Amino acid sequence: MTHTAQLMERQNAAVAGGVATRKIYAAKAENSEIWDVDGKRFIDFAAGIAVVNTGHRHPKVMQAVMAQADAFTHTCFHVAPYEGYISLAERLNAIAPTGGENRTMLVTTGAEAVENAIKVARAYTKRSGILAFSGAFHGRTLLGMSLTGKVMPYKRNFGPFPGEIYHAAFPNPYLGISTEDAIADIERLFASDVDPERVAAMIVEPVQGEGGFNVAPFDFLARLREIATRHGIVFIADEVQAGMGRTGKMFAFEHAGVQADVITLAKGLAGGFPLSAVVGRKEIMSAAHPGGLGGTYAGNPMAVAAANAVLDVIAEEGLCERATRIGERITAMLKGLAERQGMERIGDVRGLGAMVAFELVEDRASKQAAPALTNRIVEEAEKRGLILLSCGTRANVIRILTPLTIGDDTLTEGLAILEQAVEAAFSAAPAVAA
């Protein structure tokens, strides 16, 4: 029996069934590669779900963490604060484009960041309603699930959910939902379901992650900014998956030329260590009373040290520019693949920077989702040593999230395996008859 098979047996006997995993049990990782417990090498096109933007075990990140571990690992910032937390807050305040003076708080997970962003928005506005969007993902906590606009696997059987959360349509040009359609849906909500003067915040992903890598049209983000300003609504940009250089800019919403009031960060912030942040305008972030924000592990010293190193690496290695180049290569390969005869079930290729996806359909006319084909491509890639992730509300999108430090040769190798996996899956899974 392989070590992998043994671990699968032990996992089934010990780990809750609701914790879904793949059959890749990691033994070591370096930059854009992972080796499993049986010695098989994988090219990582998932990056821990956009966490290791700076690659697995970046030397500068590891050095910073080890230095911090030699000093202390935990005091709780509320009990004995430390300079690293303050330094990271200063740096995030300086780069966050809100148009004003900023303040930052650190927590541990993306869901925590989202929940605290909602808390400060409600404290600041003295309102309670929250506007979110279809296809959104904002976490697995009760409030996070309520904000999320995707039922499976996140919301089924876990209700009831907190009230005063409203969902409007998110633009999806591929499926015929325009910016005008989405804005009209917000106006419908304001006319029929909630007075905009009771809405504390709207929260939006500039590029939806779990929803299918749907890129928010820039005019849509500009219209949201105008609506938020007109009604005194706090505009929260959820940059948990799209932030930290992933899209070619530090924050994805910068592409639209708009300013958020509050920004949530996590995933790529600390190079693989658990850390998240809420960054926003001083008057909003200071609305909560002392003691109202925080947590025992919030701003863990080693994760904070990693994050300070990550900011250095992004700047020193030009990772925003690198993300753009990686995205161009991936997009060109996928569009070329989609144009080949027999590849008509690739319905759409989309993305921003190194946040690229392709959508699988039964045929381009009906655009009927092809989740079985999607799963087959992921499986074929895994057999060949490539880690891919699926996403989308219809479970028919494959997303590509390479570390931004991936070498050109490794990227070329990974794209070749991806092409082979698509070809194998297409030949094994004929289209559904019309």
**DSSP per-residue codes, 251-302:** SGGGGGT---SEEEE-GGGGTTS--EEEEEEHHHHT-SPTTSS--TTTT-HH
Residue in this structure with the two tokens 């030699």, named with its chain if needed: 70
Structure token digits, residue 163: 């009230």
Distance CA 260, CA 223 (A): 12
Residue in this structure with the two tokens 């932030």, named with its chain if needed: 243
Distance CA 261, CA 341 (A): 47
Distance CA 360, CA 358 (A): 7
Class of 3-54+318-428 per CATH? alpha beta
Beta strand ranges found along 318-369 (DSSP E): 346-352, 355-360
CB contact set of 410 (below 8 Å; sequence gap of 6+): 31, 32, 33, 43
Residue 160, pLDDT score: 85
DSSP 81: -
- Other beta carbons within 10 angstroms of residue 258's beta carbon come to 21
Q: Is the dihedral of CA 199, 175, 258, 282 positive or negative?
A: positive
Residue 430, pLDDT score: 61
- Predicted confidence pLDDT, tens digits, the chain (434 residues): 899 999 999 999 999 999 999 899 999 999 999 999 999 999 999 999 999 999 999 999 999 999 999 999 999 999 999 999 999 999 999 999 999 999 999 999 999 999 999 999 999 999 999 999 999 999 999 999 999 988 888 888 888 888 899 999 999 999 999 999 999 999 999 999 999 999 999 999 999 999 999 999 999 999 999 999 999 999 999 999 999 999 999 999 999 999 999 999 999 999 999 999 999 999 999 999 999 999 999 999 999 999 999 999 999 999 999 999 999 999 999 999 999 999 999 999 999 999 999 999 999 999 999 999 999 999 999 999 999 999 999 999 999 999 999 999 999 999 999 999 999 999 986 655 44
Q: Are the C-beta atoms of residues 261 and 234 closer than 8 Å to each other?
A: yes
CB contact set of 99 (below 8 Å; sequence gap of 6+): 259, 281
Q: Where in the chain is the domain with CATH 3.90.1150.10?
A: 3-54+318-428
Task: Quickly name the fold that domain 60-316 has.
Answer: Aspartate Aminotransferase; domain 2 (3.40.640)
Distance CA 170, CA 215 (A): 10
User: DSSP assignment of 10-59, as one string?
Assistant: HHHHHS-TTS---S--EEEEEBTEEEETT--EEEESSHHHHT-TT-BT-H
pTM exceeds 0.85, yes or no: yes
Distance CA 91, CA 278 (A): 13
Residue 306's H or E segment, with its range, is helix 301-316
Q: Please give the angle made by the CA atoms of 243, 245 and 247, to the nearest 5 degrees.
A: 80
Q: Where in the chain is the domain with CATH 3.40.640.10?
A: 60-316
